[in-house]
Each structure stands twice: as C-alpha cells, then as structure tokens.
C-alpha cells in the first residue's frame, strides 16, 4: 500500500510542478491545487496508513498499531487553507481577465512593466 501512495504522491507533485511552469494562469492555479494535494497526501501517509486501531489513549495506554492523529489534523487544516488559496487565486485570475482581457503571464507582465500613464517619462527617453 505504501508504494502505491508514494507513486501517487510523486505523480501529483510532478504534475503540479509541470502545470506551475505553464504560461496560462489557469493552469498555474490548477497546478497549485494539484501540488497541494500531493503534499497533503505525503503528510497524511507519514501518519501510518495501516493503523488498525483508533488513535485513542485509554487507561491501558495507546494501542501499538494506532494511526497517528497529528498528520490527519495537519492535513485537514491544510485542506481548508488550500481551498481558501484556490478561491483567492481564482479571484485574482478573474480580475486579471477583466483588466487585461488575457490570462497569459507574458502579456500581463508586459502590461505591468509599462509606466503609469500619469507619471512623467524617465530622463533619457524621447517623447516620440
């Protein structure tokens, strides 16, 4: 079971990084989500996948094969934070589309590097 989870984690992280390197912002946003899911699965798998007993401690002590609850709590928190990040990134993507009419990183960078229209031109530039 661990080998399947390890391969899945590797594939999710690889696909996420590959999508992050794309020019389209929609793929970048989806790459963040896929990468986040891969990392969440990696953290979750660190808490022992084959736990046969619940992670409750009784007077007799903790069971020997109990699953570790800390990675589960961390992943649950990361899922909520990841969803908030995804919604925020979609809002930024929508605003970029409204402002620039395009969601490619090169076009948005070119527009962002243009000087503001109300500022005087830097010294040394001709007003042609």
Tens-digit pLDDT profile for residues 4-43: 999 999 999 999 999 999 888 889 999 999 999 999 999 8
pLDDT, position 84:
95
pLDDT, position 38:
95
In a domain, 118, yes or no: no
In a domain, 37, yes or no: yes
**Cα separation, 119 vs 75, whole angstroms:** 48
**Cα separation, 94 vs 72, whole angstroms:** 33
We report the CATH number of the domain holding residue 36 as 1.10.287.3510
pTM: predicted TM-score of the whole model, two decimal places: 0.73
pLDDT-derived band at 69, boundaries 50, 70, 90: confident
With beta carbons less than 8 A apart as the criterion, state whether 42 and 9 touch. Answer: yes
How is residue 115 annotated by DSSP? P
pLDDT, position 47:
75
In a domain, 83, yes or no: yes
In a domain, 126, yes or no: no
How is residue 5 annotated by DSSP? H
Residue 45 belongs to domain spanning = 2-50+67-112
**Cα separation, 35 vs 30, whole angstroms:** 9
In a domain, 80, yes or no: yes
pLDDT, position 86:
93
Q: CA–CA distance from 106 to each of 92, 101, 103, 111 (Å)?
A: 16, 13, 9, 9
Residue 96, number of CB atoms within 10 A of its CB = 18
Looking at the 3D structure of the chain, how many domains does it have? 1
């Amino acid at each position: 079971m661990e080998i399947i989870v390890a391969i899945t984690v590797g594939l999710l992280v690889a696909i996420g990084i590959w999508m992050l390197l794309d020019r389209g912002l929609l793929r970048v946003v989806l790459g963040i989500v896929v990468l986040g899911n891969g990392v969440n699965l990696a953290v979750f798998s660190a808490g022992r996948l084959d736990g046969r007993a619940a992670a409750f401690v009784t007077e007799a002590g903790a069971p020997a094969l109990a699953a570790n609850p800390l990675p589960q709590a961390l992943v649950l928190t990361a899922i909520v934070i990841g969803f908030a990040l995804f919604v925020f990134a979609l809002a930024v993507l929508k605003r970029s589309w409204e402002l620039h009419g395009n969601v490619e990183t090169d076009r948005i960078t070119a527009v962002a590097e243009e000087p503001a229209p109300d500022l005087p031109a830097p010294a040394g530039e001709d007003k042609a």
